């Protein structure tokens, strides 16, 4: 990898004018104390709330208990935790579609015992025009399939596979790892 | 440029991209990363495609008093009463304003108000151990709380969790999500703290220790500590 003069300059000036990032640590097993506080989705209209259920599983299909699931959408956010069976549930409304995008929820998944940053994926709905979505267009059909929820009686369902055959597609962005040393 | 690329697999094991791994010698089973950690490469997309999904109105407003963990019950909690304050910035010193800062911690005896805490220690009926606040326009936050007790790491003789307060930070975008923890200066348990030990670099470990700061103290009431947090990985370009 090439290093530009500017990058070298920044790295060498850490002690002077470039602040070195604080290291990340795990959530730990007791994070629900602080992290379980208020969260809300406020659609501001009469959209009908529904429930999203699913499980967080490892590569052998075993449950990832005490994982934190956070959801983001323009209307707000939710935060919930998996039980001993890896299951989670949250209530929200379908987000409005943004230009060039199909409606979707962002999911941030953090396994409390060992993860230092959330793994990010998106949940798309089976009853929307997903082929118009700019992000999905960058993915293979197999990758897209891991983000597509199934309809249930009360809403939708999507499992998160941390590893294995059906591993969920996790997203990154430029600069994601810039704080690693 | 990441050290992971410079040093090969050792650092990669610790941090790339999500998982920590305990060094040898601590009595808890490591997660097998071939089962628990994603094996496929991250799909890198433009930040705008990610952050467009962030809440328009942010993450809610803490209520007054949410940052005073000593005043959440009828009585006064046991322990050393402390003020913890600090500034949240990016690597270029720019303040992270309106960021949600959440803390959670054990009571003075080293006991969490949590079903999962198995240690045979007393709860404090006047202490829950959770607080939240927003950073101000200059990136400052303040909490009033008590100094948490240490607690054991499984049944290890020599490994205890050093006294620490957990911090969770949430910014406007999905990409601004940060979890860390603060240790106290002079604590001899830090050296063998299992969680601190997952950070391979000694200088980096030191940055998790707060400093005594009388500016923040309330005379006759609290000891003051300062803990600045520098966020990385979210602002790739410095402001000129």
Give pLDDT tens digits along chain B (240 positions).
Answer: 233 333 333 333 334 566 777 777 787 766 676 788 787 878 888 888 988 888 876 666 788 899 999 999 999 999 999 999 999 998 888 999 999 999 999 999 999 998 778 888 999 999 999 999 999 999 999 999 999 999 998 888 888 999 999 999 988 776 778 899 999 999 999 999 989 988 888 888 999 999 999 999 999 999 999 999 998 754 444 333
Q: Calculate the CA dihedral of residues B34, B167, B115, A154 and round it to 10 degrees.
A: -70
Contacts of A17 in chain B (CB under 8 A): 93
User: What is the bridge-based pairing of β-strands B160-161 and B151-152?
Assistant: antiparallel
Domains and CATH numbers, chain A: 32-161 (2.60.130.10)
pTM of the predicted model as reported, rounded to 2 decimal places: 0.88
Tell me, letter by letter, the H, E, C secondary structure of B33-47: HHHHCCCCCCEECCH
Say whether B102 and A23 touch across the interface (CB within 8 A).
no
C-beta of residue B54 within 8 angstroms of C-beta of residue B172: yes
Q: How far apart (Å, rounded) are the C-alpha atoms in residues B125 and B36?
A: 38
Q: A67 CB near a chain B CB, below 8 Å? A: no
Read off the tokens for B21.
């791994």
Q: Which residues pair with A126 in a beta bridge?
A: none
Separation CA A81–CA A70 (nearest Å) = 9
With an 8 Å Cβ cutoff, are B195 and A18 in contact? no
**CA proximity to B187, closest of B156, B162, B150, B160:** B162
Q: Which residues in chain A show pLDDT less than 70? A: 1-17, 34-39, 177-181
pLDDT at B31: 66
Q: What is the pLDDT of residue B239?
A: 35
Please answer whether residues A74 and A52 qualify as being in contact, where contact means their C-beta atoms are separated by less than 8 angstroms. no
Q: How many CA atoms lie within 13 A of B232 on its CB side?
A: 16
CATH topology for B57-231 is Protocatechuate 3,4-Dioxygenase, subunit A (2.60.130)
Residues A26 and A112 sit within 8 Å (Cβ to Cβ): yes
pLDDT per residue as tens digits for the range A75-88? 888 889 999 999 99
Distance (Å, whole) CA B54 – CA A177: 20
Shortest Cα distance from B155 to chain A (angstroms)? 16
Give the residue from A62, A174, A156 showing the smallest Cα distance to A103: A156
What are the residue boundaries of the structural domains of chain B, listed by start? 1-44, 57-231
Query: Where is B201: in which H helix or E strand?
Result: none
Q: Which chain A residue's Cα is nearest to B3? A: A181
User: Best interface-test mutation with A: which of B17, B93, B145, B231 has the largest number of A CBs within 10 A?
Assistant: B17
Which residues of chain A make contact with B231, given a CB cutoff of 8 A?
Answer: 21-22, 179
Tell me if A173 and B175 make a contact (CB, 8 A cut-off). Answer: yes
- CA atoms of B162 and B144, how far apart (whole Å): 20
CB contact under 8 A, B233 and A176: yes
Of the candidates A18, A105, A115, the one whose C-alpha atom is nearest the C-alpha of residue B168 is: A115
CB contact under 8 Å between B53 and A105, yes or no, is yes
Size of interface A-B (CB pairs under 8 A): 253
**Residue burial B199-227, b: 16+ Cβ < 10 Å; e: rest:** bbeeebbebbbbeebeebbeeeebbbbbb
Of residues B17, B116, B179, nearest to A25 (C-beta): B179
CB contact under 8 A, B179 and A74: no
Looking at residue A37, its pLDDT comes to 56
State how far residue B234 is from chain A, nearest Cα, in angstroms.
6
User: How high is the pLDDT of residue B58?
Assistant: 66
- Comparing C-alpha atoms, which of B190, B222, B204, B178 is closest to residue B84? B222
Can you give the pLDDT at residue A20? Answer: 86
Q: How many residues does chain A have?
A: 181
Q: Which residue has the tokens 């101000």?
A: B136
What is the per-residue pLDDT across A41-70, written as a single tens digit (0 to 9) for each?
878 888 999 999 999 999 999 999 989 999
Is ipTM > 0.95 here?
no
Determine contact: A145 vs chain B, CB below 8 A.
no
């Amino acid at each position: 990898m090439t290093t530009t003069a500017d990058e070298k300059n920044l790295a060498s000036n850490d002690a002077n004018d470039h602040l070195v990032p604080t290291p990340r640590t795990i959530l730990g097993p007791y994070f629900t104390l602080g992290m379980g506080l208020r969260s809300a989705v406020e659609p501001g209209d009469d959209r009908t709330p529904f429930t999203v259920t699913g499980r967080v599983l490892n590569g052998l299909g075993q449950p990832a208990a005490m994982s934190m699931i956070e959801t983001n959408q323009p209307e707000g956010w939710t935060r919930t935790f998996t039980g001993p069976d890896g299951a989670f549930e949250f209530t929200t409304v379908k987000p409005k579609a943004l230009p060039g995008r199909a409606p979707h929820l962002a999911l941030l998944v953090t396994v409390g015992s060992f993860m230092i940053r959330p793994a990010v994926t998106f949940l798309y709905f089976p009853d929307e025009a997903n082929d118009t979505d700019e992000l999905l267009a960058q993915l293979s059909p197999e990758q897209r399939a891991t983000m597509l929820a199934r309809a249930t009686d009360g809403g939708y369902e999507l499992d998160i596979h941390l590893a294995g055959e059906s591993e969920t597609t996790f997203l990154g962005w430029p600069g994601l790892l810039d704080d690693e040393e | 440029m990441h050290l992971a690329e410079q040093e090969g697999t050792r650092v990669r094991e610790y941090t790339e991209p999500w998982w920590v791994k305990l060094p040898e010698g601590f009595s808890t089973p490591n997660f097998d990363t071939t089962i628990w950690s994603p094996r496929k490469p991250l799909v890198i997309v433009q930040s705008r495609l990610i952050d467009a999904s962030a809440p328009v109105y942010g993450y809610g407003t803490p209520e007054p008093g949410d940052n005073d963990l000593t005043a959440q019950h009828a009585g006064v909690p046991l322990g050393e009463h402390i003020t913890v304050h600090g500034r949240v910035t990016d690597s270029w010193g720019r303040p992270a304003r309106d960021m949600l800062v959440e803390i959670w911690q054990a009571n003075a005896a080293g006991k969490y108000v949590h079903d999962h805490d198995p240690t045979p220690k007393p709860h404090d009926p006047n202490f829950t151990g959770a607080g939240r606040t927003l950073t101000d326009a200059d990136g400052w936050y303040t909490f009033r709380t008590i100094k948490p007790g240490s607690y054991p790491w499984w049944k290890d003789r020599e490994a205890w969790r050093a006294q620490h307060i957990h911090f969770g930070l949430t910014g406007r975008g999905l990409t601004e999500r940060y979890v860390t923890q603060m240790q106290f200066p002079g604590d001899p348990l830090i050296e063998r703290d299992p969680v601190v030990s997952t950070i391979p670099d000694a200088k980096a470990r030191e940055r998790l220790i707060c400093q005594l700061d009388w500016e923040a103290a309330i005379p006759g009431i609290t000891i003051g500590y300062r803990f600045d947090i520098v966020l990385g990985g979210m602002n790739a370009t410095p402001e000129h």
